[in-house]
């Protein structure tokens, strides 16, 4: 299982451990207060996170795109923007893997617009720009990604340190692993774009 699939699975598990949709108020993952009216949507969003994780694990990029689109449509306004951004990141990944680079770039940009610390979207962006042969833009995006990753890692450590409970700390530790993966991606592309 790749790190993205593990992160989405951990998000779902932390959500369930935190009491699921029936008792999840002041939520670990979103910080929002859920009423019983939005409880059904929250449950559906949680299921879609699990479905996205499964699609990533089995590398079904077409289905990942469709599931992520459903998540964006249903869960915008229900969960924090960072989780909707993650779905745009999945759509970016799916289109990248399918060779639809222009569409992949659009979703990477949407992801970044929603949640600037979505480091995987910054790395996707410079990889896509490189695939499109836009090396100067890719280099600029690479430098931005480096800086965002540094800031995201620092902020995430503060979040770990100030977490209210162990489930929240575990969630931030899982996010830290995603940031570390983004950092490794930067290092892989440094010979091509880091000059």
Domain count, the chain: 1
Residue 76, CA distances (Å) to 13, 41, 50, 81, 86 in order = 21, 10, 17, 7, 11
Q: What is the pLDDT of residue 35?
A: 53
Joined tokens for residue 122: 């910054």
Whether the pLDDT of residue 23 is over 80: the answer is no
pTM: 0.79
R_g over Cα of the chain: 16
**pLDDT tens-digit series, residues 61-93:** 999 999 999 999 999 988 899 999 999 999 999
Long-range contacts of 190-193 (CB under 8 A, 24+ apart): 192/130, 193/126, 193/130, 193/135, 193/138, 193/139, 193/142
- Yes or no: say if 46 and 71 are a contact pair by the CB < 8 Å rule: no
Residue 70 sits in a domain of what CATH number?
1.25.40.10
State the pLDDT at residue 36: 54
CA distances for 31 relative to 24, 61, 187, angstroms: 10, 30, 33
114 has a pLDDT exceeding 70: yes
Q: How far apart are CA 45 and CA 79, in angstroms?
A: 8
Average pLDDT of every residue of the chain: 85
Which residue intervals of 3-60 are DSSP H helices?
3-17, 20-23, 36-57
pLDDT value, residue 12: 47
Of 14-28, 94-108, 113-127, 160-174, where does mean pLDDT reach its minimum? Answer: 14-28
Mean pLDDT, residues 43-65 taken together: 94
Q: Is the pLDDT of residue 1 over 80?
A: no
173 compared with 25, residue with greater pLDDT: 173
38: domain range?
Answer: 3-193
Would you say residue 138 has pLDDT above 60?
Answer: yes
């Amino acid at each position: 299982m790749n790190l993205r699939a593990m992160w989405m699975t951990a998000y779902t598990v932390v959500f369930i451990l935190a009491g699921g949709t029936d008792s999840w108020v002041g939520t670990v993952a979103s910080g929002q207060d859920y009423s019983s009216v939005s409880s059904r949507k929250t449950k559906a969003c949680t299921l879609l996170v699990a479905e996205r994780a499964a699609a990533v694990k089995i590398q079904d990029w077409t289905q990942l795109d469709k599931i992520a689109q459903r998540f964006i449509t249903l869960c915008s306004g229900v969960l924090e923007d960072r989780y909707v951004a993650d779905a745009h990141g999945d759509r970016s990944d799916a289109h990248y893997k399918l060779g639809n680079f222009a569409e992949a770039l659009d979703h990477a940009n949407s992801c970044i617009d929603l949640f600037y610390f979505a480091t995987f979207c910054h790395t996707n962006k410079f990889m896509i720009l490189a695939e499109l042969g836009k090396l100067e833009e890719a280099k600029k995006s690479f430098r931005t990604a480096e800086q965002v990753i540094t800031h995201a890692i620092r902020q995430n450590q503060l979040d770990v340190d100030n977490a209210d409970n162990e489930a929240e700390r575990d969630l931030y530790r899982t996010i830290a692993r995603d940031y570390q993966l983004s950092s490794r991606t930067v290092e892989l592309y440094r010979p091509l774009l880091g000059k």
